[in-house]
Amino acid sequence: MTVQVPHPQAVDWSAGAAYLDGAFMPIADARIPITDWGYRRSDVTYDVVSVWDGAFFRLDDHLRRFRASMDLMRFAPRESDADIRRMLHRLVALTGLREAYVAMDCMRGRPRPDQRYHPVNARSYIAAFAIPYVWVMKPDVIERGAHMIVASTPRIPDVCVDARAKNFHWADMTAALFEAEEKGADNPILLDLEGNVTEGPGYNVFCVTNGVVATPDRNVLEGISRLSAIDLCRELGIPCEVRKVPVAELREADEIFVTGTAGGIVPVTRLDGRILGNDRPGPMAERLRETYWRKRKEGWLAEPVDYDQAAVELP
């Protein structure tokens, strides 16, 4: 794959680096055409992987999910998984960041004027960027535990938009975020049309009742951090069930926590004003959170960033 790369010393990469349709550039220079369906129709799938202490976390899992999402949404970009891996390494290397938020998108353009106006004729292409690490909730919120609400807006049904493929259909999430803000909470949790827990904007949801952890199995992104929490439960001997979670179970839970790439494992200490425990992160959530970050610092499922790529011209 041939790419265009400006000389690393000729530009300022400090705010972030981007890759767009075959070219690398500073994040501020990245643009997509406003006529492309990626913009006009939210015809996009994406994934986000984190870099911590100079290493990607579960990059194989993220690339596998990204490819599955592209297949599900019928995207066929020219880049192979190996190309995308090299490109992500290059983006982080150009910035020099040791802690980074690294996003990869695949979107559709639009048909040429002489073609039928149908997505089958719209070209797929990749856009990606690396910027300083993003926290979905700030560290001080994580420390005290997040204050959440159950949103009145339901999650888009998965028969309409398959939540297993990360997508830009965020109208329900955005409405729920505004509702949380108006109610003085940090973030929302959305239910399905039958009153079962789904997920929140950028995170999966877990609850703990009588020592058993449970997380929803339908209408949710199969999050990589969700997978990590399930793996940690298995390693620590904590019972963990992936199943339907009615909202009543969430409301009565001993503990609640959420998981996401932009924060890891985040305890919840209030739900709709109800104080969980003593208004501090619960013991199960704290044990999982501490284990998660300890293992990450030890190199758990890590792939060190190839920082030498910043000085090497790609073919």
Render each residue's pLDDT in the chain as its tens digit; 315 residues: 555 555 555 688 989 999 999 999 999 999 999 999 999 999 999 999 999 999 999 999 999 999 999 999 999 999 999 999 999 999 999 999 999 999 999 999 999 999 999 999 999 999 999 999 999 999 999 999 999 999 999 999 999 999 999 999 999 999 999 999 999 999 999 999 999 999 999 999 999 999 999 999 999 999 999 999 999 999 999 999 999 999 999 999 999 999 999 999 999 999 999 999 899 999 999 999 999 999 999 999 999 999 998 765 543
Q: How far apart are CA 263 and CA 291, in angstroms?
A: 14
Strand partners, 148: 187, 271
What are the distances in angstroms from CA 120 to CA 36, 38, 73, 123, 167? 14, 14, 11, 8, 19
Please tell me the predicted confidence (pLDDT) of residue 45: 98
Global pTM reads 0.93
Please tell me the predicted confidence (pLDDT) of residue 6: 53
Which is it for strands 17-20 and 23-26: parallel, antiparallel or unpaired?
A: antiparallel
For residue 188, the surrounding DSSP H or E stretch is strand 187-189
Tokens of 149: 């609400």
Please tell me the predicted confidence (pLDDT) of residue 263: 93
Residue 149 in 3-state DSSP? Answer: strand
What are the distances in angstroms from CA 287 to CA 85, 216, 253? 32, 21, 17
Please tell me the predicted confidence (pLDDT) of residue 237: 98
Q: CATH 3.30.470.10 region(s) of the chain?
A: 8-133
CATH of domain 8-133: 3.30.470.10
208 burial class (0-12, 13-18, 19+ CB within 10 angstroms)? buried
138 contacts: CB under 8 Å, gap ≥ 6 = none
Q: CATH 3.20.10.10 region(s) of the chain?
A: 139-297
Domain 139-297 CATH assignment equals 3.20.10.10:
yes
